[in-house]
Amino acid sequence: MKFYSFLLFVPVLATSTNLIAQNLQEPRPYEIAAKQIIAEGLQSCWAFSMLENLSLKIGPRLVGSSQAAQAVEWGIKTMKDLGFQNVHTEPCMVPHWIRGPIEEASILTSDGKIIPINICALGGSIATMENGVTAEVLQVKSFDELKSLSDKAKGKIIFFNRPMDKSKINPGEAYGGAVNQRGSGAVEAAAVGGVAALVRSMTMQLDNVPHTGSMHYIDTIPKVPAAAISTVGANLLDSLLAVDKNLKVNIQLTCQTLPDVESANVIGELIGTENPEEVIVIGGHLDSWDKGHGAHDDGAGSVHVIEALRLLKELGLKPKRTIRAVLFMNEEFGLNGGVAYAKRDRPGEKHICAIETDAGGFTPRGFGVGADSIAFPKFARWSYLLDPIDAGRITRGGGGADISELAKLGVITIGLRVDGQKYFDYHHSDNDTIDKVHPRELELGAIAIAIFSYVIAQEGI
């Protein structure tokens, strides 16, 4: 643009009433601090470099494993190096299940074909016998359907093939509508005489990658092996069953449950300058499944909370109330860390809220606040601080698994909400690798937590 044409624009710009009003407007409370946090975070994108150390250098962190123990050490060192206060661990006992070297399956058709399919053991499953379990298959979409077909179930592999409901806007809701097959499939299968549970992977993605996750047994019902089958494998098995009802499936698993081991939550703080006894917890979980890198679930959450504290410290923003980062141990397989944290006696302390990030390192959209109608507006009033990063959607209802025990004690629990449409493409599978995490999206999550926890620490509720 030449100089004279620029001059022509000046009167137009100067008479813009909006602009004048904006220039005259005083910044609203904490807007300057929020802008500093956003600028510092996006400039450095420090969260991603921490995620590389946790998810790539250490790798997946199945509870009870040596990698989980390394992650505890990493958490302590990282927080100490960053100069956080009161860095320490709080011990808890955790289960130690291992996947074992073999997890294989094949469809054996009536005309003699052997078709390999991709499976993986569900967390907590027993192994099969040495050559695996081989049986005909009963496909069902629900536990009710299984009960109605119970006379046909004896000696069969029960194939739970109800997909996640794609019509749901919130993928988490679709997951919630399907995941009982994974958690309770083995119990329901064994209750009607089934010899194994084969469960459609909890994803809407059509691919060849099985997704693991926790399952359970109950003492009064025999234990049978349980595995996840990829969605491509599930569709193939479904189509072959339609033409060959007597086909068989062979499943081989070598997983094992070893004695419980001691592990720990990792904790670091910025101690409040005026009301240190009032605590805002910000937490993610340090453990992951043993698939992929545990990058989105929940390496992202672990680095979110460390980065949130780092941003405040780096900028010299001193919270009046204590902000405590907690890296919980074993969200995936029993919540031992969350239970231990809530049970621990903390004389003189009052938790005013707990914020959990366990929905992946995607672009943040806001927070779900599990507060009643009186307390909720005290959180929602800060949405304008998060609007510049499009994360100002503060809605009622929220929390997280690790902080669910605190909720039972009356603590207000809050969950970071993210743009999670892709989350279950990766969740609990070999797809959950660090290349699926974008450094800026990850950082924005940390920024949102830093802003929200800081303003709560300053103003209380």
Q: Least distance from C-beta 102 to Zn ion, angstroms? A: 27
Nearest distance in Å: CB 301, Zn ion: 7
Q: According to CB under 5 A, which one of 297, 405, 430, 443 is a site residue for Zn ion? A: 297
Of 162-170, 174-182, 245-253, 297-305, which segment contacts Zn ion by CB under 5 A? 297-305
Q: Which is nearer to Zn ion, 184 or 357 (CB)?
A: 357
Using CB under 5 A, which of the segments 103-111, 150-158, 290-298, 438-446 binds Zn ion?
Answer: 290-298
State the binding string over 347-376 for Zn ion (x if CB under 5 A, else -).
-----------x------------------
**Could you give the 3-state DSSP secondary structure of residue 196?**
strand
| Alpha carbon distance 418, 277 (integer Å) | 30
Q: Is 436 helix (H, G, I), strand (E, B) or coil?
A: helix
Contact partners, residue 17, CB within 8 Å, separation at least 6? none
Nearer to Zn ion, 233 or 299 (CB): 299
Quickly tell me which residue has 């959607």 as its tokens: 393
Smallest distance, Å, CB 332 to Zn ion? 6
Give me the least distance between CB of 2 and Zn ion, in Å please. 57
Considering only residues 23 to 52 of the shown chain, the ones binding Zn ion according to CB under 5 A are: none
Q: What six digits make up the tokens of 371? A: 């507060």
Residues 185-244 that bind Zn ion (CB under 5 A): none
Burial 43-69 (b: 16+ CB within 10 A, else e): ebbbbbebbbebbeebbbbbbbbebbb
**Longest distance between any two alpha carbons in the chain, whole Å:** 89
Least Å from the CB of residue 294 to Zn ion = 9
Buried b (16+ CB within 10 A) or exposed e, 187-215: bbbbbbbbbbbbbbbbbbbebebbbbbbb
By residue count, the chain amounts to: 461
The reply to whether 402 sits near Zn ion by the rule CB under 5 A is no
Instruction: Please give the Cα distance from 374 to 412 (Å, whole number).
Output: 12
CB atoms within 10 A of CB 12: 8
Question: Residues 103, 269, 278, 331: which is the catalytic one?
Answer: 331
User: Which lies closer to Zn ion via its Cβ, residue 41 or residue 337?
Assistant: 337
Q: Residues 161, 235: contact at Cβ < 8 Å?
A: no
| Nearest residue (CB) to Zn ion, 188 versus 432 | 432
Q: Is 278 a catalytic residue?
A: no
Token pair belonging to 288: 């992951």
Cβ distance to Zn ion smaller for residue 297 or 307 = 297
* Amino acid identity, position 320: K
Q: Which of 188, 298, 405, 432 binds Zn ion (CB under 5 A)?
A: 298
Q: Which residues bind Zn ion (CB under 5 A)?
A: 297-298, 358
> Which amino acids are annotated catalytic?
331
